[in-house]
Structure 1
Amino acid sequence: MAEDGIRLGEKKRQGIVLFEPGGPGSSRVRLRTLVTIRWIAVAGQAVALAAAHWGLGLPLPLVPSLLVVAVSVALNLLILEYRPRGLWLGDREAAVYLGYDLLQLAVLLALTGGLTNPFSILIMAPITVSASLLSRVSTLALAGLGLVCVTLLAVFYIPLSWDRLGLTFGPLYLWGLWASLVITILFIAAYVYSMASEASRMSAALRASDLALAREQQLSAVGALAAAAAHELGTPLGTIAVVAKELQNEVGKDSAWADDLRLLKEESDRCRDILAQLVARPDSDGGSPFHRLPLEGLIEAAATPYRSEGKKLLVACNPPTGQTDLDQPEVPRTAVLLQGLGLLLQNGLQFAESLVEVEISWDSETVVLIIHDDGPGFNPAVLERLGQPYVGEGRKRRNTASQPMGLGIFITHALLARTGARLLFGNHPEGGGIVEIRWDRATLEQSDQMATGNHD
């Protein structure tokens, strides 16, 4: 199997839309959120200044410090006056807002003791917000600005009279604070960004999975509607055909209406043929979404859209030894099973040299499905990470036009997990990829109820 069987063009053909996390110009954060955070910061700064000056008796440059706080108050008031609160900011604009907050805090710290101020740790707050919400470039820029501010605060600041409280801070302690803040800024920026990016990719892949499933359900619903429409329209079309034929017999072949009546009869017959085809199409691949059929038939239906010339799909059934009376499991023809198995079969047919083999085994408790292709197989370096979205280099040899990202395997795993399946991926000793899917038989046969319940 391929690590991602859906090429970019095929994603579009199948209606799967990928939401690229971190895209330039995309909306990142609501303006109201940043304004609220700034109000909290302003209130905290004002309380801290008052507590230090009047509570602890530390002489502070109170007027310059309050002016710095007042600038943030004025800026927030201007934003509330001239910009809608519900506005979503782009990545760059949000980074500018956070950059101002970082610089304002740095100026305030420079006036109130620099790094010896216990609130100097708050300089990491804008960087943490950026790592959670903004792009890598914005986070790196804010982290760099934070490092510059921390370094300047270690050298240029108005010291506080800590000796009044019996406290002294030597140069070694000061530079230790500088080193700890630098390391923390780098660690927080990298770690939080990594976790937020992973969550964003997972969310995007889940949305793609839901879209793929919704598409399959829509197609099934359209097929059912077509069958119903054909049934309802069959009777009036038959009536039209009968009336047209009787009128032909009455007016005769030489009548001026003969050609029109013949055309009417031909077109009504043509409509009946079209409706007959619409009725036949859903039945040919299993009927309604909840129609039950043998697992072998479901595999054939799932593989039908992906069959290609020059590549064979062989399905072999292995009934349990000594239990010849135990029939092959009958499973519901749900969109979940069709889409999940279809993606795996598509992978095999896409990357196989000439053959994809499917082996079905079952007993009274378990159903096992093994898919093996004669293609290049999986790259061993990413086998243990399969099932995660956006995993690169899934195949040992890859078509340069294709850029697998693991999304196909992720969608497959997410869909089939709804039916109680357990998936294992590996490489066959004789070459090619191999996928084993294992169900509890009772769970698989009732998977229509599980998939519907989990999805809703």
Structure 2
Amino acid sequence: MPQKTMINAPFTLAGHAQHLGYWVIIRTLILICLGIAAVIFLWDGTVNLPFTEILTALVILTSVNLLTFVRLRKPLAVTQMEFFIQLLVDLACLTAVFYFSGGANNPFVSYFLVPICICAATLSGRYTLAIAGLSVMSYSLLLFFHIPLPILSPHHHQADHSINLHVLGMWLNFFISACLITYFIVKMARDLRAQEAQLNRWREDQLRDEQVMAVATLAAGTAHELGTPLSTMKLLLSELRTEYKNVDPLQKDLQLLQEQVNQCANTLRELVATAEQTKDGQLPSDNISNYCNTIIERWKIMRPDVVSTINIAPNQPDMIVQFHPTIAQAIINLLNNAADASPQNIEIDINWNAQNMQWAIKDSGAGIAEEVTAHLGKSFISTKTKGLGIGLLLTQATINRYGGTVSLHNRVPRGTITRLELPITLVSPTEPLAI
């Protein structure tokens, strides 16, 4: 599919293909102007120009322009280097034209500023510095090396060949303008790109927050509806355990079902309790080691089939901390993702210091495809056949909300490493614990 070079984005924020499309248009206009000027002088006959050399340079530039137009119809990415080379071709051809038409006295010589402006607005600083340096060097050389035209030479009536102060002033103005453009336009273009990138991140975060709010609304209604079926299941399980109390294998299964139903009921109660605790800004406080162990024990009850290795680094500082209750749920989501990937081989490393807490959850599953990694935690996407993609989205939103980060990496030889880092809010020892 051909690349679209139409004007569809701010110039400094567009892609290089669009930039090159703009440059083709600019180059076409300049070629038309120079071609008309050459035809007029050739028809008039009063000015003795080396038309063969000038037309050769213009034909070369026209051929490059046509080839560039055809190239833009191809589905190939335009790189910074390619655009830079295009600007170099223009500098070389125009320098040749100016050399054969009066050098620095040619009124079109200030056109050298245009490639500098375009480069400063679209390419990186090193390319802009190169274009500016070559433009200044070309202008400087044209002061001394050129085929003079009496009609364009301010000193043509003088006997000597010294550089006229007017021409020198033109060169100095060009040099200062090139320096200012190189510095300020590059800086403004870089700031615009950074702002656009920040706006894109804000849009992604806003979209994710809207999705999270939709999930939260549905969760509240679902939690209310689950109360009745859970009570029914608890009653039936109690009756089944009484009726089949002599069947040991069945008793073990019923016991497991009873624990799972109780866990669901506890989760619903905690959901309501969390809303009550946090509505006034009050957060529970706990010893950080107890906090981590409580999360692990709660997860083990939920996933009794999982074989895991828990590593809490020794000599960790003991401290009282506060975490929002939703943090624990976010960590459990990450643990469940690892358990779904490889329930028989999970390693959990927990560390903390006075500034933050780190969790590293390692599984031996299939890993994550590269094309999926960029979208995890930003939308409803799942790497599991039966997954809804909600867990990681909620986890990412929760951890980011409280200043933390979650990242997923492929593990060698196989599997995934999930890293969580979260700032710690310390509680003064004189403050009472809010349980």
TM-score by length of 1: 0.51
1:182 is matched with 175
Alpha carbons of structure 1 residues 56 and 131: separation in structure 2 relative to 1, 3 Å: farther
Q: Distance in 2 between matches of 1:120 and 1:95?
A: 20
1:234 is matched with 227
1:142 is matched with 131
Q: Distance in 1 between matches of 2:206 and 2:34?
A: 51
- The Cα of 1:239 is off from its aligned counterpart by 2.7
CA contact (8 A) 1:230 1:276 kept: no
Q: Is residue 259 of structure 1 aligned with residue 247 of structure 2?
A: no
Alpha carbons of structure 1 residues 178 and 256: separation in structure 2 relative to 1, 3 Å: closer
Matches for 1:158-169 after TM superposition, within 5 Å: 158-162=147-151
Matches for 1:426-437 after TM superposition, within 5 Å: none
One-letter amino acid of the structure 2 residue matched with residue 122 of structure 1: Y
- The Cα of 1:87 is off from its aligned counterpart by 4.8
> RCO (CA 8 Å, sep 6+): is it higher in 1 or 2?
1
One-letter amino acid of the structure 2 residue matched with residue 102 of structure 1: L
- The Cα of 1:309 is off from its aligned counterpart by 5.3
2:364 is matched with none
Q: Secondary structure at the match of 2:48?
A: coil
Q: Distance in 1 between matches of 2:204 and 2:190?
A: 21
1:111 is matched with 100
Alpha carbons of structure 1 residues 122 and 310: separation in structure 2 relative to 1, 3 Å: farther
Q: Is residue 125 of structure 1 aligned with residue 114 of structure 2?
A: yes
Runs of 4+ with deviation above 6 angstroms: 163-170
The equivalent position to 2:192 in structure 1, one of 196, 199, 207, is 199
User: Residue deviations 1:260-298, cap 9 Å, x none?
Assistant: 333323322222222333444445433xxxxxxxxxx46
The equivalent position to 1:171 in structure 2, one of 157, 163, 186, is 163
The equivalent position to 2:86 in structure 1, one of 97, 100, 109, is 97
1:246 is matched with 239
Q: Distance in 1 between matches of 2:122 and 2:213?
A: 38
Alpha carbons of structure 1 residues 248 and 65: separation in structure 2 relative to 1, 3 Å: same
Q: Secondary structure at the match of 2:78?
A: strand
One-letter amino acid of the structure 2 residue matched with residue 182 of structure 1: F
Q: Distance in 2 between matches of 1:168 and 1:309?
A: 90
CA RMSD of aligned residues (A): 4.0
The equivalent position to 1:66 in structure 2, one of 47, 52, 55, is 55
CA contact (8 A) 2:100 2:147 kept: yes
CA contact (8 A) 1:32 1:87 kept: no
Q: Secondary structure at the match of 1:253?
A: coil
Q: Is residue 153 of structure 1 aligned with residue 142 of structure 2?
A: yes
- The Cα of 1:149 is off from its aligned counterpart by 0.3
Q: Distance in 2 between matches of 1:254 and 1:231?
A: 35
- The Cα of 1:141 is off from its aligned counterpart by 0.8
Q: Distance in 1 between matches of 2:45 and 2:261?
A: 96
- The Cα of 1:54 is off from its aligned counterpart by 3.0
- The Cα of 1:233 is off from its aligned counterpart by 3.1
Matches for 1:8-23 after TM superposition, within 5 Å: none
Alpha carbons of structure 1 residues 258 and 33: separation in structure 2 relative to 1, 3 Å: same
Q: Distance in 1 between matches of 2:198 and 2:149?
A: 52
Matches for 1:432-447 after TM superposition, within 5 Å: none
Q: Secondary structure at the match of 1:158?
A: coil
Q: Distance in 2 between matches of 1:87 and 1:199?
A: 26
- The Cα of 1:46 is off from its aligned counterpart by 1.6
Q: Distance in 2 between matches of 1:196 and 1:55?
A: 45
User: Residue deviations 1:357-408, cap 9 Å, x none?
Assistant: xxxxxxxxxxxxxxxxxxxxxxxxxxxxxxxxxxxxxxxxxxxxxxxxxxxx
Unaligned runs of 5+ in 2: 1-11, 284-317, 323-353, 356-435
Aligned length: 277
One-letter amino acid of the structure 1 residue matched with residue 151 of structure 2: W
Q: Distance in 2 between matches of 1:311 and 1:246?
A: 43
- The Cα of 1:39 is off from its aligned counterpart by 2.5
Identity of aligned residues (%): 29
Matches for 1:307-386 after TM superposition, within 5 Å: none
Alpha carbons of structure 1 residues 269 and 153: separation in structure 2 relative to 1, 3 Å: same
Q: Distance in 2 between matches of 1:283 and 1:28?
A: 54
CA contact (8 A) 2:104 2:142 kept: yes
Q: Distance in 2 between matches of 1:309 and 1:97?
A: 62
